[in-house]
Chains A and B, each alone.
Chain A
Amino acid sequence: MAESAHSSPPGNNEPRATAGGASADAESPSTLVTARTWGDVTEPKRVTVPAGLWTRCPSCEAMLYQKTVEQNLFVCPDCQFHFRISAGERARQLCDQDSFEPMWDKLAAVDMLGFTDVKPYKDRLVSEQKKTRRPDAVVAGSGYIKGRRIVLACLDGQFMMGSMGCVVGEVVTRAIELATKENLPLVVVSCSGGARMQEGALSLMQMAKTSAALARLDAAGGLFISLLTDPTTGGVTASFAMLGDVIFAEPGALIGFAGPRVIANTVRQELPEGFQRSEHLLKKGFVDRVVHRHELRSEISRIIDFAGK
């Protein structure tokens, strides 16, 4: 899979299986329409790329050979729907083969509030760690993109919805500081439901902490490229994600401050189609480019070159 970043998309003439295969993973094709709510967002089934030989595209419902999807960087070869991917997969896709070196990957959360909702936060952490095999919702380190050295931080939507608690805040801040110190371009890939409620007001403070660190990167003349992926909402959007010198978004990503259901409840009307999607934000002037996953490496390198970094 490591090579996938450079491989050309394989042909899409795979058989359209209608029987057998991973039908259990099939979902309704509501993805690009309006009716996505926080309920959908937190549904793990949506988030993960289903295991198995076959998978169904949640957008166009095509039956796809799993390997084909993987080799196509988890983009549907038929309709170009971008599957959600893990932070590890993201780092592998973006960086030159085997060039990504993880850092700060021993940092783990502390349950300082003794938080319990329907499940104790402590237990939730353990099960999420087991599920994702990483301590928290971020993967960061240094790597190369087409030979250009970068500092990279990727939020992991598969770990508690990529929510930002103290670990994510600390790791992102360290990444910003490394980029500042070494004068390296910083790339942060956001994929998050927002600040992590289970860590209370300290989660909120991570917004201020990361933004303050970015002020220093900015003052030092550093380059920050922010990539918004599906979904980027809440406290992550309202801090570092929206502070990129250049902001890219993957096609069709949900990007916003409040979640769609909260807004629908406030305004008591159905939300317009495509509202809070990358393309809409582009139209409204809040992202610079909507970039297909296949083009991310070359588009990011180009910006690094223009910035002279």
Chain B
Amino acid sequence: MTALQGNMQPTYELEFERPLIRLEKQIEELEASMRAGGVDIGPEIRRLRESHTAMLRKIYEGLGPWNTVKVARHPGRPQTGDYLRLMFKEFTELHGDRHYGDDPAMITGFGRLGSHKVMLIAHQKGKDTKQRIACNFGMAHPEGYRKALLKMKLAEKFNVPVVTLIDTPGAYPGIGAEERGQAEAIAVNLREMSRLRVPIVSVIIGEGGSGGALGIGVSDRTAMMQYAWYSVISPEACAAILWKTGAEAEKAAEALKITAADNLKSGTVDEVIEEPLGGAHRNPAVAADRLEKWITQTIRELKRFKIENLMEKRFEKLRGLGDVTEAAGSRQT
């Protein structure tokens, strides 16, 4: 296993989770005093635990779009490295893009998932500061997208299904990225993934930001983790353009309809994978278990199709995306 394995950052607090954390501390203290003093305060602890669960449920049921974005970015949230560790029996990372260099923000390689051999293509964000900088915070360069395509073609050659895990705020916007053709790299991926002759399944596990996400996101089936976000642009960038200030990101997050439920409604994703109560960061193992089940079941389903039929369905799905009306009156050029 060569992929990055992160350290959790237990000190990180989401603002809307503060009452929960207070309760957790209270429970911990009571437990400690019970161990020390021997006084039976079990019922009290049980009562606090119950109210903790109730509060957790309430907070996460009413989680707005902006708080969803915060959960999606929680440093304790499982990332590609965690899922590799928790789900894969075997993984052989393949680095080469054969053109320019290796991009640590994009991980590719053969792996075994359940009974399936798969080609994994995944964004990697990194957990601590050092990793994050090395991975450019999950923002891939053109060489990352080209490596992804090269490995997808390799999978096609040996008839291995492709699994992509998406977790990026967007493709990297920098001088080198532009000069090496960020737009061209993504565009070619879109075209080639639409006609790849093996099943492709994609899951947005955290952030699904714009072309950087779609660049490895054209698939037969796309799912979203319950508290991931997916949209045409990040809320901050949208706010900076439309409201002229990044401070309005919360409004932008609402306007863009970026949650899993919204994407399911618009048909931009096919399924939502439920996260453990209180988000994947509370229980990465359960999250990984559900993700693995969805992926293996979906691959099994897709393998039943003849590849020509599967590709036809993939095309029809893409072709059908969009909402227009024929009502416009003017005929003017």
> In the complex, are the beta carbons of B187 and A204 less than 8 A apart?
no
At the interface with chain A, which of B17-25, B156-164, B315-323? Answer: B315-323
Tell whether, in the assembled complex, residue A209 and residue B318 are in contact, meaning their CB atoms are under 8 Å apart.
yes
* Chain B neighbourhood of A199, CB < 8 A: 232, 323
Q: How far is the CA of A105 from the CA of B175 in the complex (A)?
A: 38
Query: Interface size for chain B: under 10, 10 to 19, 20 to 34, or 35 or more residues?
Result: 35 or more
Interface residues on A, range: 35 or more
Contacting pair A215 B191 (CB below 8 A): yes
Chain B neighbourhood of A239, CB < 8 A: 186-187, 190, 211
Are A272 and B175 touching (Cβ within 8 A)?
yes
Residue of A nearest to B139 (CB): A266
Structural contact, A200 and B258, CB atoms closer than 8 A: yes
Instruction: Decide: A237 and B183 in contact? CB cutoff 8 A.
Output: yes
Tell me, in angstroms, the Cα distance from A216 to B51 when the chains sit together. 57
Instruction: Check: A258 CB closer than 8 A to any chain B CB.
Output: yes
The reply to whether A256 and B183 form a contact with Cβ atoms under 8 Å apart is: yes
Interface residues in B181-197 by Cβ distance below 8 A to A read 181-184, 186-188, 190-192, 194-195
* Complex contact A205–B322 (CB within 8 A): yes
Do A170 and B191 contact each other (CB < 8 Å), given the known contacts A105-B333, A207-B214, A212-B315?
Answer: no
Contact B187 A102 (CB under 8 A): no
Q: Does A179 contact B (CB under 8 A)?
A: no
The reply to whether the CB of B28 lies closer than 8 angstroms to some CB of chain A is no
**Can you add 19 more A-B contacts, CB < 8 Å, to A238-B215, A271-B175, A275-B178?**
A102-B331, A105-B332, A107-B328, A112-B266, A197-B232, A200-B257, A200-B262, A203-B232, A207-B214, A209-B322, A215-B195, A238-B211, A241-B183, A243-B187, A256-B178, A257-B182, A257-B186, A266-B174, A267-B175
Interface string of A92-108 (1 = CB under 8 A from B): 10000000101001111
Can you list 9 A-B pairs, Cβ within 8 angstroms, ordered by A? A106-B326, A110-B325, A117-B255, A204-B231, A204-B232, A207-B214, A211-B218, A258-B182, A262-B237
Cross-chain contact B257 with A242 (CB below 8 angstroms):
no
Bound: A169/B322 CA distance, A? 8
Bound Cα distance from A91 to B233, whole angstroms: 31
Interface 9-residue window, one of B70-78, B238-246, B288-296? B238-246
Answer yes or no: A240 CB below 8 A from chain B CBs: yes
Select which of B178, B194, B257, B328 is within 8 A of A211 by beta carbon. B194
Q: Is the CB of B187 within 8 A of A266?
A: no
Produce 1/0 per residue, A110-124, CB < 8 A to B.
101101111000000
Asked if A202 and B195 make an inter-chain contact with CB atoms under 8 angstroms apart, the answer reads: no
Q: How far is the CB of B158 from chain A (nearest CB, A)?
A: 21
Tell me whether A263 and B323 are in contact (CB under 8 A).
no
- A interface, over-half SS: helix
Nearest neighbor of B215 in chain A, beta-carbon distance:
A238
The one of A91, A129, A204 that contacts B214, using a Cβ cutoff of 8 Å = A204
Complex CA–CA separation, A183 to B183 (angstroms): 27
B39 at interface, CB cutoff 8 A: no
Task: Please judge, given known A-B contacts A212-B319, A257-B182, A258-B173, whether A207 and B211 are in contact too, CB under 8 Å.
Answer: yes
Interface: A253 (CB within 8 A): no
Contact B319 A211 (CB under 8 A): no
Q: Is the CB of A211 within 8 A of B190?
A: yes
By a CB distance below 8 angstroms, the chain A residues around B210 are 195, 204, 235
Residue from the list B188, B241, B333 in contact with A243, Cβ < 8 A: B188
Does A6 count as interface, using CB distance less than 8 angstroms?
no
For the complex, is A137 an interface residue (Cβ under 8 Å from B)? no
B179 contacts partner chain A, Cβ-Cβ < 8 Å: yes
A208 at the interface (CB under 8 A from B): yes
In the complex, A188 Cα to B46 Cα: how many Å?
Answer: 67
Out of A117, A203, A257, A286, name the residue touching B173 (CB < 8 Å).
A257
Residues of B contacting A209 in the complex (Cβ-Cβ under 8 angstroms):
318-319, 321-322
Given contacts A257-B183, A286-B184, contact A201 B230 (CB under 8 A): yes
B323 touches A166 (CB 8 A): yes
Roughly how many angstroms separate A116 CA and B329 CA in the complex, as a whole number? 24
Name which of A139, A239, A271 has the most chain B CB atoms within 10 A of its CB: A239
Q: Which one of A107, A212, A256 lies within 8 Å of B318 (CB-CB)?
A: A212
**Residues A200 and B232 in contact in the complex (CB < 8 Å), given A108-B327, A208-B321:** yes
